[in-house]
Amino acid sequence: MMNKVFEQIEWSLLTPETTIIAGIVLLLLTDLVLPASISRRWFGFIGLASILGSLAFVVSQLPLKPAEILFGTYRLDPMSLVFKLLFLTATALILLVAMDRKKGDKTDRYIAEEYILMLSALLGAMFLASSVDVITLFIGLELLSISSYILVGMRKHERLSTEAGWKYVIYGGVSSAFFLYGYSFLYGLSGTTNLFTLGQSLAEVVQSTQSDLFIVASLCLMLVGFAFKISLAPFHMWAPDVYQGASSPVASFLAVVSKAAGILFLIRFLLIGMYPLLRSEVWGENIMWALAILAAVSMIVGNTVALRQQNVKRILAYSGIAQAGYLFIIFPSLQSNLIFVSVGFYLVVYMLMTIGAFAIVHVVSKDTGNEELTSFDGLVRRSPGLAIAMTLFLFSLAGIPLTAGFIGKVNLSLNTFASGQMWLLISTLLVTTVISYYYYFRIVQRMFVEKATSDQKVPISFFSALTILVVVLGTIGFGIMPDLLLSKLETVKWGYGLIPLEGIQQLKN
Amino acid sequence: MEITGEFIAFFILSILAICGAVFMIFFTNVVHMGVSMAFTFLSIAGIYFLLNADFLAVIQIMVYTGAISILMLFGIMMTRHKETEEKLNRPIHYGLSIAGAGVLLVSLVLLSRGATFVSDAVDTKGYGIEKIGELFFGTYMIPFELASILLLVALIGSIIIAKKEGQE
């Protein structure tokens, strides 16, 4: 009987993930077979090929028929598809930047492992995107986290990298423990790991008994774990140290893919598992405020602490904390459906500008040997193209009109405003945005006003240049014509990601 | 409450587990710390036995009590710099963490007393190793396979981190 069930499963749904696994295995074996004398710099192409293959499979799954394997431990729906596209594109761009390496770089020893770990982290994020069962979600999250711990700590010749790796492992382990501890209470209440079943049994609990506060307590414990992943203050302490210690491509991976994965997990968890609470009083009295405080504190802490930093990567880390706070202002008012469009748009835009900024930091620091603010001195006289691109990314991060970041921010604020409650959060966003201009402009001022330390052009590889070009086009393009992306995102049936398969079939009939 | 053999066993085991954890924090000698942690692991394995989770209990003894404790003692022996750790004197950190943990404990106890658990108590007799196997290779096959990749990644990572850098 079991065999029959086994054959009925549509394993073909898993092709995007298996392509990535194939890439990992291929890299491992090639590294093993190849003599040590042969350079492994071209290994990035294997990784890139598997990502592009996976992208092709994801696209070939369009037009989408939502489906599940094995009771929701694997699930394909519009929401997972969009996020998978985001993860794959981001990793492909980051991989291109990571292939730009200095001659005789000490990290070349572990070059194969570096690409393998990037792929495995991507794999974790992809599984996280396509599941509604807490066990798969958690293992996906851990695969993503453990790969990133190693990626951060693998530059062993640098003290900062080792320190960052340690900090990341310990903070990450504690936050996972908080998450599991919180879920253990919910498991005790519901006896299930499937988010839909969890939602149903919580609905019964909420109606019949006074267990609301118990659920809120477990959710708060889990929020610690989520907030850590998304690097929301006050659980952000790891981010600046880790970004500083990691190589720039890895830092941008953490800032983009890891954060987006955490946000998706949180959306699914709140809107499927915690669905019964959304309509209850508990939401308005407790959870909404917890989320609002997380958003406000992140915006304030991120933007003010960044003022004092001298290291560009640390500035970008604090800016990332603030960006997570901006994105989070929409969470307290989760009711409206528009949130997915603005969250999706903001994530795409955030991906573009963050990858761009980190790519330029990577290129510049490869030349100057450090990431201090001073290494950007007079960049415009050395490489005007890079300086202008960096200015564009910083303007976009700051949210200045005609850049994509501006549209993203306006979109988020408008949709939050439409739900009417959180005017305090919107005013925090406005005030902290103005504060943030200071530190973004400080970098710009360094590039344009200060004297250059050398007059040589900053060397840049073809692939980094390609990435920066793509990202620049995206940042300007979506800034001037946001409808290109917004109209696409509006046609996505986000709601299908939040209801069981039977519900989708009923909706279609 | 009726006092049964199970209750007494649970009582003793949980006291041992808690004492082990508390001593682990307050001992200053690293070897003592390792041993008291092994006590905690072992008593938790005992609690698993009481719950009819034989497989989990055996795994707990093998992995935690056996492997991890021994590994830790080996690690201490090989890297020993100072046998006793100097006591950190940070009264504010101390006070804050004790207060935080206390608030968490009290609120969790109060909340879980107030909550009613809808699901009935389950008979745990049928949950042996066969059931676990069925779940691993049935419903939870995808996370199970994913865990194998997780282990592969952990293996690669530990090799990178632990490998001695040779001269080149």
Is residue A68 within 8 A of residue A501, CB to CB? The reply is yes
Q: Does B113 touch chain A if contact means CB atoms closer than 8 Å?
A: no
Q: Are residues B53 and B3 in the same domain?
A: yes
Instruction: At B57, give phi and psi (nearest 5°).
Output: -65, -45
pTM for the complete prediction? 0.93
- In this prediction, what percent of chain A has a pLDDT beyond 70? 96
Question: Is B108 within the bounds of a domain?
Answer: no
Q: Does B123 touch chain A if contact means CB atoms closer than 8 Å?
A: no
Look at chain B and count its residues: 168
Nearest Cα to Cα of residue A116 among A34, A46, A42, A14: A46
**Cβ–Cβ below 8 Å for A214 and B115:** yes
Question: Where is A423: in which H helix or E strand?
Answer: helix A423-448
A102 vs B63, which has greater pLDDT? B63
Average pLDDT value for chain B:
84
Question: Is A6 within the bounds of a domain?
Answer: no
Q: Does A178 touch chain B if contact means CB atoms closer than 8 Å?
A: no
A270-309 in b/e form (b: 16+ CB < 10 A) is bbbbbbbbbebebbeebbbebbbebbbbbbbbbbbbbeeb
Q: Give the span between the Cα atoms of B45 and B61, in whole angstroms.
A: 6
CB atoms within 10 A of CB A82: 22
Task: State the smallest CA–CA distance between residue B87 and chain A in angstroms.
Answer: 21
Q: What single DSSP character describes residue A76?
A: E
Is residue A213 within 8 A of residue B114, CB to CB? The reply is yes
Question: Is A100 within the bounds of a domain?
Answer: yes
Q: Are residues B11 and B71 in the same domain?
A: yes
Domain count, chain A: 1
List CB contacts (< 8 A) between B161 and chain A: 150, 153-154, 156, 165
User: Domain containing A149: what range?
Assistant: 19-508
Q: Are residues B63 and B22 in the same domain?
A: yes
Q: Give the span between the Cα atoms of A138 and A283, in whole angstroms.
A: 24
Question: Is A421 within the bounds of a domain?
Answer: yes
Per-residue pLDDT at A239 exceeds 60: yes
Q: Does A209 touch chain B if contact means CB atoms closer than 8 Å?
A: yes
Q: Are residues B77 and B7 in the same domain?
A: yes
Task: State the smallest CA–CA distance between residue B121 and chain A in angstroms.
Answer: 10
Is residue A409 within 8 A of residue A481, CB to CB? The reply is no
List CB contacts (< 8 A) between A123 and chain B: 149
Question: Is B113 within the bounds of a domain?
Answer: no
Q: Are residues B88 and B133 in the same domain?
A: no
Question: Is A12 within the bounds of a domain?
Answer: no
Q: Are residues B78 and B24 in the same domain?
A: yes
Question: Is B120 within the bounds of a domain?
Answer: no
Q: Give the span between the Cα atoms of B24 and A329, in whole angstroms.
A: 42
A257 vs B83, which has greater pLDDT? A257
Query: Best mutation site among A122, A189, A190, A207 for testing chain B: the one with the most B CBs within 10 Å?
Result: A189
Structure confidence at residue B168 (pLDDT): 45
The shortest CB-CB distance from A214 to any of B112, B152, B157 is to: B112
Q: Are residues B63 and B138 in the same domain?
A: no
Q: Does B100 touch chain A if contact means CB atoms closer than 8 Å?
A: no
Question: Is A13 within the bounds of a domain?
Answer: no
Q: Does B165 touch chain A if contact means CB atoms closer than 8 Å?
A: yes
**Cβ–Cβ below 8 Å for B153 and A146:** yes
Structure confidence at residue A213 (pLDDT): 79
**Helix or strand or coil: residue A13?**
helix
Q: Does B156 touch chain A if contact means CB atoms closer than 8 Å?
A: yes
Tell me which of B93, B117, B137 is where a domain ends.
B93
Question: Is B121 within the bounds of a domain?
Answer: no
User: Domain containing B67: what range?
Assistant: 1-93
**Cβ–Cβ below 8 Å for B153 and A157:** no
The residue of chain A nearest to residue B109, with distances taken between CA atoms, is: A214
Structure confidence at residue A1 (pLDDT): 43
Per-residue pLDDT at A4 exceeds 60: no
Question: Is A199 within the bounds of a domain?
Answer: yes
Interface confidence, given as ipTM, is 0.90
Domain count, chain B: 2
The residue of chain B nearest to residue A212, with distances taken between CA atoms, is: B115
Q: Are residues B15 and B72 in the same domain?
A: yes
**Cβ–Cβ below 8 Å for B143 and A139:** yes
pLDDT in tens, B90-99: 888 889 989 9
Question: Is A1 within the bounds of a domain?
Answer: no
Q: Does A174 touch chain B if contact means CB atoms closer than 8 Å?
A: no
Structure confidence at residue B116 (pLDDT): 66
**Cβ–Cβ below 8 Å for B138 and A201:** no
**Cβ–Cβ below 8 Å for A110 and B160:** yes
- A75 forms bridges with which residues in the sheet? A68
pLDDT in tens, A424-433: 888 899 999 9
List CB contacts (< 8 A) between B141 and chain A: 70, 73
**Cβ–Cβ below 8 Å for B111 and A214:** yes
Question: Is B142 within the bounds of a domain?
Answer: yes
Per-residue pLDDT at A60 exceeds 80: yes
- In this prediction, what percent of chain A has a pLDDT beyond 90? 59
A276 vs A359, which has greater pLDDT? A359
Question: Is A62 within the bounds of a domain?
Answer: yes
Tell me which of B41, B69, B93 is where a domain ends.
B93
Query: Best mutation site among A105, A143, A149 for testing chain B: the one with the most B CBs within 10 Å?
Result: A143
Structure confidence at residue A31 (pLDDT): 92
Contacts of B108 (CB under 8 A, 6+ apart): A217
pLDDT in tens, B115-127: 666 556 666 666 7
Per-residue pLDDT at B86 exceeds 70: no
Q: Are residues B85 and B9 in the same domain?
A: yes
Q: Is A229 left (phi over 0), alpha (psi -120 to 50) or beta?
A: alpha
Residue B78 belongs to domain with CATH number: 1.20.120.1200
**Helix or strand or coil: residue A133?**
strand
**Cβ–Cβ below 8 Å for A154 and B108:** no
Q: Give the span between the Cα atoms of A191 and A270, in whole angstroms.
A: 18
